[in-house]
């Protein structure tokens, strides 16, 4: 599975998403321009010591992603989307696409792929979720549908408690 961030702006969000990718084995794609340096201390701090576990791809623009992965399903996450994120049947090779924090996915991309746009249901008065929270919600729904693939039931930092 792949997470694609189009022009992310906030290093802490990208760091949190990188940590999610590290913990789940999801590949991370960052589409330029980025709103921060990849050696930004906030980016590194949010990802903690997980960066060695993340496979990160950098792309000059979104068309480059489309050209490099023509056989993959793309799902575009937007508050404007017609379908809930739970209505999709995900596969292990899907590309989950998210836009930048201040504006989301550009309208021209949404319009060109409208039938593949998904949203996280929320109350009408809420504008949106934080980007890293939205990525986690959609990614874990996709992983749940795939029975969590190769993810361990108990990680190295967890203990099974006896009753």
Size (the chain), residues: 163
H-state helical runs in 25-154: 41-47, 62-68, 107-112, 131-145
Specify whether the CB–CB gap between 92 and 149 falls below 8 A.
Answer: yes
Task: Quote the tokens at residue 56.
Answer: 């990160």
Report d(CA 12, CA 16) in Å as an integer. 6
**Is 120 annotated as contributing to ligand binding?**
yes
**Is 116 annotated as contributing to ligand binding?**
no
Nearest to 113 by CA among 95, 90, 127, 136: 95
User: Which whole-number Å values give the CA distances from 110 to 37, 83, 120, in the listed order?
Assistant: 27, 13, 15
Helices (H) and strands (E) in the chain, counts: 5, 7
Q: How many CB atoms lie within 10 A of CB 68?
A: 11
Annotated binding site: 99, 120, 128
**Which residues are known binding-site members for S-adenosyl-L-methionine?**
99, 120, 128
């Amino acid at each position: 599975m792949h997470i694609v961030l189009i022009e992310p702006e906030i290093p802490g969000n990208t760091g949190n998403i990188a940590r999610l990718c590290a913990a789940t084995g999801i590949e991370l794609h960052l589409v330029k321009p980025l709103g921060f340096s990849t050696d930004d201390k906030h980016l590194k701090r949010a990802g903690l010591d997980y960066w060695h576990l993340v496979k990160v791809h950098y792309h000059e623009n979104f068309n480059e992603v489309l050209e490099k992965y023509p056989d993959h399903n793309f799902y575009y996450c937007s508050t404007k989307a017609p379908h809930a994120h739970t209505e999709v049947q995900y596969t292990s090779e899907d590309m989950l696409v998210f836009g930048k924090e201040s504006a989301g996915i550009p309208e021209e991309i949404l319009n060109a792929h409208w039938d593949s746009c998904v949203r996280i249901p929320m109350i009408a008065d809420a504008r949106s979720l934080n980007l890293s929270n939205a990525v986690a919600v959609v990614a874990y729904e996709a992983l749940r549908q795939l029975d969590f693939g190769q993810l361990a039931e108990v990680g190295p930092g967890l203990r099974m408690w006896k009753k």
